[in-house]
Amino acid sequence: MKKLLKILTLLVLSVSLLQAAAFEKTANGGGVTAVISSDKPLTTGNNTLHVSIKDPQYKDAAVALKVFMPEMPGMPPMEMQSNAKAMGNGIYKTDINFSMSGTWQVWIFITPKSGQKVRIKTSLNI
Ligand SMILES: [Cu+2]
């Protein structure tokens, strides 16, 4: 019985670890590294994204995301902006609604309390 409990606990733990890593992408810009992650695989519609910045200078910054898709045949350009909420310790959280599948350009604007502003450019495939 104890062994079964141990196995169950391990299973639950590994499932939650897997969920935590459902999506992760590292991006760099201006000498700063940001990791974008999501508890769930990215999908059209609403997604909750976490942006993690390890650099101590940017642990308590203002972080905003600009997400856009340039004009395509039969589709106007799409763009949205979102201010991420600081969760502490360099973790920032925001909801993004991807209105269609495809490649979205993502710009992360990081404004520290003091020092240089940074922009990190990356993309996400939905
Ligand atoms: Cu499009």
Nearest alpha-carbon partner for 82 in 52, 57, 108: 108
Q: What is residue 16's predicted lDDT score, i.e. its pLDDT? A: 57
Residue 44, domain CATH:
2.60.40.1930
CA 83 to chain centre: 12
Distance from Cα 91 to the centre of ligand 1, integer Å: 29
For position 99, what pLDDT does the model report? 93
> What domain count does the chain have?
1
Q: How far is the CA of 123 from the centre of ligand 1 (A)?
A: 13
Residue from 42, 92, 99, 102 nearest 72 by CA: 102
Q: Domain limits at 79?
A: 23-125
Return the pLDDT at 124: 97
pLDDT given for residue 69 in this prediction: 96
Question: Does 33 map to a domain?
Answer: yes
Q: How far is the CA of 78 from the centre of ligand 1 (A)?
A: 7
In-domain check, residue 11: no
Q: pTM value?
A: 0.83
pLDDT of residue 66: 98
How many CB atoms within 10 Å of residue 66? Answer: 15
CA triple 51-57-62, angle to 5 deg: 50
CB atoms within 10 A of CB 67: 22
Q: Do the beta carbons of residue 81 and residue 71 sit within 8 Å?
A: no
Query: Is residue 31 domain-resident?
Result: yes
User: Is residue 10 situated within a structural domain?
Assistant: no
Q: What is the pLDDT of residues 32-68, one digit of tens each?
A: 999 999 999 999 999 999 999 999 999 999 999 999 9
Taking 50 as the pLDDT cut, the residues of the chain under it are none
User: What spacing in Å lies between the alpha carbon of 79 and ligand 1's midpoint?
Assistant: 10
Distance from Cα 60 to the centre of ligand 1, integer Å = 34
Residue 9 lies in a domain: no
Contacts of 42 (CB under 8 A, 6+ apart): 23, 98, 124, 125, 126
User: How far apart (Å, rounded) are the C-alpha atoms in residues 56 and 70?
Assistant: 34
pLDDT at 64: 98
Distance in Å, CA 101 to ligand 1 centroid: 7
For residue 17, the model assigns a pLDDT of 56
Per-residue confidence (pLDDT) for residue 20, from 0 to 100: 57
For residue 12, is it within any domain?
Answer: no
User: What pLDDT does residue 115 have?
Assistant: 87
16 falls within a domain: no
What protein residues have CB closer than 5 angstroms to ion ligand 1? 69, 72, 75, 102
In a domain, 3, yes or no: no
